[in-house]
Amino acid sequence: YQDGARYWYSVQPTVTKLAEDRAGQLKRKPDDVAHELARRLQSDLRKTGDFGRIHTLPQGGQDVLDDTDARLVVLAPETPYSKESGSPAEKAAAEILRMRGNSPRLFQNTLVFLAADRARMQDLDDALRRYLAWESIVEERVTLNLTPQQVKQAETQKTSADATVAARLPETYQWLLAPRQ
């Protein structure tokens, strides 16, 4: 640090370094990142539009109803789409179309699938981890004994990270898969 002609080192890490460390630690906690992604997807997809229902991140075909209403199925980030044939998204969509639990699906033509782009999924994951790191710092500002300037920096960075996630979500979930005969 510098104050006029004085220079010194602090034994306390900077808030930015703390956020980077926490974002790195979240790589070992993928459930926290997945939970935040699911929360954001559900929030963004509250307006169903022309769809009777939206199924967000189903675990399998048993979670998707088999009725005559048009429905959107948002596939999990573990099943991204890529242009190569046989992508995980295509396989997951085919399985959901084929079966509902243990019985065959009757109304296959009522489902449309939204899948994440494989190349952009890592960017979204990084943005989610940075947001969660800054959010935890803002929540623990008293425990971390942050100065008012550090609190303001953390809040600004949290807002910026939130905007980044909001921008990357539609960039990542861009592929619409529809069944055809």
Confidence (pTM):
0.83
- Please determine, for residue 168, whether its predicted confidence score (pLDDT) is greater than 90: yes
Predicted pLDDT at 62? 85
pLDDT tens-digit readout, 129-152? 999 999 999 999 999 888 889 999
How does pLDDT run across 21-68, given as a tens digit for each residue?
Answer: 999 999 999 899 999 999 999 888 887 677 888 888 888 888 888 888
Q: What is the mean pLDDT of residues 82-99?
A: 88
Say what the pLDDT of residue 81 is.
93
| pLDDT score at 53 | 85
* Confidence label for 159 from pLDDT (cuts 50, 70 and 90): very high
pLDDT > 90 in the chain, percent: 51
Q: CA nearest 78: which of 127, 108, 27, 115?
A: 115
